[in-house]
Amino acid sequence: MNSDKNSTEQPILASDRQSLAKMIDHTLLKPDATVEMITLLCLEARKFHFASVCVNPVHVKKCAELLSDTDVEVCTTIGFPLGANTTETKVFEAKNALKNGATEIDMVINIGALKDGHTELVARDISAVVAAVHAAGALVKVIIETALLTDDEKILACQIAKQAGADFVKTSTGFSSGGATVHDVALMRQVVGSEMGVKAAGGIRTAEDAKQLITAGANRLGTSAGGKLVQADEHPLPSNPSPDTY
């Protein structure tokens, strides 16, 4: 996230750290992530009681083993990062991840189809994954990749995801030309209302970034800097509904 260069970093009040931690998907999606790095990610998630770890599918089984006795969910990515897999492939990926222990699925939409105006194809793609994931009692977050969309396309993508029964809409993969912005989060929250979650991801590195996005309407944050955020010094978070509100 690109914050105002002149803004002063505002740390987080200790009493708010637990609430913030449960908004964080502790993320490691680098292609060169090693088992040692994934293990450390899980240890940090255990320590801070983050909402989840978010990893590539190859690491799901390891994370599920390491986090089996904790309150930390295992999130993985499907059709990632381009969204250009076939629907059948995305469904297979999702089912395989669930079998290996994933409890949350972050899927990327068919971005090209959305931009071509093929909304029915986009809807079928999302609906198929949602059906497979919900059948296993897990959550679906739909990544719309805001950096590649116009505002009208962002609105349309959120409407389709909501109609398809997804649990969250998510801003970004972190692998495109931009990440989460306050504008996009506010727009997405306006579209989905209180019935869905909004996950901001991409470029969230400071407590100030987190607070701005939460104020805009995010109730989940995808970041690799979770430890830094929850260990910040004392300063209150903005007043905002808890993650369970959405």
109-132, pLDDT tens digit by residue?
A: 999 999 999 999 999 999 999 999
Instruction: Give the separation between CA 115 and CA 153, rounded to whole angstroms.
Output: 7
- Residue 16 CA from chain centroid, whole number: 20
How far is CA 6 from each of CA 2, 9, 152, 208, rounded to the nearest angstrom? 11, 9, 31, 12
- The letter for the amino acid at 124 is R
pLDDT tens for 121-163 read 999 999 999 999 999 999 999 999 999 999 999 999 999 999 9
- What confidence tens digit (pLDDT) does each residue in 23-71 have? 999 999 999 999 999 999 999 999 999 999 999 999 999 999 999 999 9
In 3D, which of 76, 26, 38 has the Cα closest to residue 56? 76
Alpha-carbon span 205 to 191, nearest angstrom:
26
Catalytic residues: 106, 170, 199
Give Cα 219 distance to the centre of its chain: 10
pTM of the model: 0.89
Tell me the three state secondary structure of residue 207.
helix
